[in-house]
């Protein structure tokens, strides 16, 4: 098969469409003929040598894919050749084939094309596990999503609106904030010329956000605590603003606040399976009903993966960038 190989750590041009060995599905795994994958910010870090794949994962980038089941390994009974699927991966999505633990597959939704289905697994599983399973966002509560126009943000807005929450977002341009509003965001904050703490406090009558989905890490830690409502929960999933910061625990205690931090890729298979099952039960019906859609900024063929990385590195994308097999 062919895969996008990281020839050495570096810029986008180290991504080369190369002939490599086919994967073989092990016990409990399914071999998928890939139709499409999608770019996640973690792929950029992997390309730079800053985010090595976990042990046992393929060396090629790609945390999600869609396609058709080609074969099943020993012990797999729930999938059969020909099934159209999408999958949460620990790596290897930028390729023509991948072997995936059976518990990380979802049936491809009928409501979107098989290519578009590749844009779902990583963001939907990340948002669902953090905002709903972890931070327990409830109807009537306010969710603040940093980077509302990102792949993660466009998913979080739709899921939270469908759950009856009020959604606030930050983004760095009027165009991105418009896109967030079209997806249902109620409160839009341009972080370049507004103080998001002041803006969220003004918009919530001084209450703050019940849940904050954070991708900035250290740079926003203190201000996220300031922006938090009493009994609020911060779910940190990104470190774009650094990993080390000082925290005023007294402020957090007075608000009875919680800070959680997770990374999906490093979770054990059993946890990924449980998250995928919860997504299938709670999110897939919304997708089939047309209430959640993948927001796709651009589609490119796999050999143009370098261009896809350039687009994301420049933060041009609103939503996801899809890579397709042909």
Ligand X SMILES: NC(=O)c1ccc[n+]([C@@H]2O[C@H](COP(=O)([O-])OP(=O)(O)OC[C@H]3O[C@@H](n4cnc5c(N)ncnc54)[C@H](OP(=O)(O)O)[C@@H]3O)[C@@H](O)[C@H]2O)c1
d(CA 25, CA 262): 28
157 near ligand X (CB under 6 A): no
297 near ligand X (CB under 6 A): no
264 near ligand X (CB under 6 A): yes
263 near ligand X (CB under 6 A): yes
Of residues 81 through 100, those in contact with ligand X by CB under 6 A are: none
Distance (Å) of CA 104 to CA 73, 198, 268, 276:
14, 41, 11, 6
Q: Could you tell me the smallest distance in angstroms from the CB atom of residue 253 to ligand X?
A: 26
Of residues 176 through 195, those in contact with ligand X by CB under 6 A are: 176, 191
275 near ligand X (CB under 6 A): no
46 near ligand X (CB under 6 A): no
48 near ligand X (CB under 6 A): no
Residues 53-74, buried b or exposed e (16+ Cβ, 10 A)?
Answer: beeeebebbbbbbbbebbbbbe
d(CA 164, CA 151): 21
d(CA 272, CA 228): 29
Which residue's CB atom is positioned nearest to ligand X?
A: 238
Contacts 24+ apart (CB under 8 A), 195-198: 196/144, 196/146, 196/170, 196/223, 196/227, 197/223, 197/226, 197/227
Q: Could you tell me the smallest distance in angstroms from the CB atom of residue 208 to ligand X?
A: 17
146 near ligand X (CB under 6 A): yes
**Residue from 25, 58, 61, 151 binding ligand X (CB under 6 A):** 151
158 near ligand X (CB under 6 A): no
Binding mask 216-255 for ligand X (x = CB under 6 A): x--------------------xx-x---------------
SS3 of 119-185: CCHHHHHHHHHHHHHHCCCCCCCEEEEECCCCHHHHHHHHHHHHCCCEEEEEECCHHHHHHHHHHCC
What is the number of helices (H) and of strands (E) in the chain?
11, 15
152 near ligand X (CB under 6 A): yes
324 near ligand X (CB under 6 A): no
Distance (Å) of CA 113 to CA 1, 80, 107, 152, 200:
24, 20, 12, 20, 37
Q: Could you tell me the smallest distance in angstroms from the CB atom of residue 178 to ligand X?
A: 12
Q: Which two tokens stand for residue 269?
A: 């298979």
34 near ligand X (CB under 6 A): no
Q: Could you tell me the smallest distance in angstroms from the CB atom of residue 306 to ligand X?
A: 16
Tell me which stretch binds ligand X (CB under 6 A): 73-81, 93-101, 170-178, 200-208.
170-178
199 near ligand X (CB under 6 A): no
Binding mask 108-127 for ligand X (x = CB under 6 A): --------------x---x-
Binding site for ligand X (CB under 6 A): 40-42, 122, 126, 146-147, 149-152, 170-173, 176, 191, 215-216, 237-238, 240, 262-264, 312, 315, 317
């Amino acid at each position: 098969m062919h895969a996008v190989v990281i020839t050495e750590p570096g810029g986008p041009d180290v991504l080369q469409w190369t002939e490599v060995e086919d994967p073989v599905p092990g016990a409990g795994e399914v071999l998928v003929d890939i139709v499409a994958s999608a770019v996640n910010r973690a792929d950029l870090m992997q390309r730079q040598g800053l985010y090595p794949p976990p042990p046992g994962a393929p060396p090629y980038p790609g945390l999600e894919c869609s396609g058709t089941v080609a074969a099943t390994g020993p012990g797999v009974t729930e999938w059969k050749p020909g099934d159209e699927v999408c999958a949460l991966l620990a790596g290897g999505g930028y390729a023509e084939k991948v072997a995936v633990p059976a518990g990380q597959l979802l049936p491809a939704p009928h409501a979107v094309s098989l290519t578009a289905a590749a844009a779902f697994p990583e963001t939907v599983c990340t948002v669902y596990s953090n905002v709903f399973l972890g931070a327990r966002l409830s109807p009537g509560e306010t969710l603040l999503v940093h980077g509302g126009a990102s792949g993660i943000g466009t998913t979080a807005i739709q899921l939270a609106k469908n759950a009856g929450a009020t959604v606030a977002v930050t983004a760095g341009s009027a165009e991105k904030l418009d896109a967030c509003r079209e997806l249902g965001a109620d409160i839009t904050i341009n972080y370049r010329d507004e103080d998001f703490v002041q803006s969220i406090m003004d918009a919530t009558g001084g209450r703050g956000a019940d849940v904050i989905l954070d991708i900035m890490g250290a740079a926003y830690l203190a201000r996220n605590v300031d922006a938090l409502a009493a009994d609020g929960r911060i779910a940190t999933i990104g470190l774009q603003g650094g990993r080390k910061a000082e925290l005023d625990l007294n402020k957090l205690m007075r608000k009875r606040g919680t800070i959680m931090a997770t990374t999906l890729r490093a979770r054990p298979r059993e946890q990924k399976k449980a998250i995928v099952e919860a997504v299938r039960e709670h999110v897939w019906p919304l997708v089939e009903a047309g209430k959640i859609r993948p927001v796709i900024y651009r589609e490119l063929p796999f050999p143009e993966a370098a261009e896809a990385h350039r687009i994301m590195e420049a933060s041009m994308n609103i939503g996801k960038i899809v890579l397709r097999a042909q």
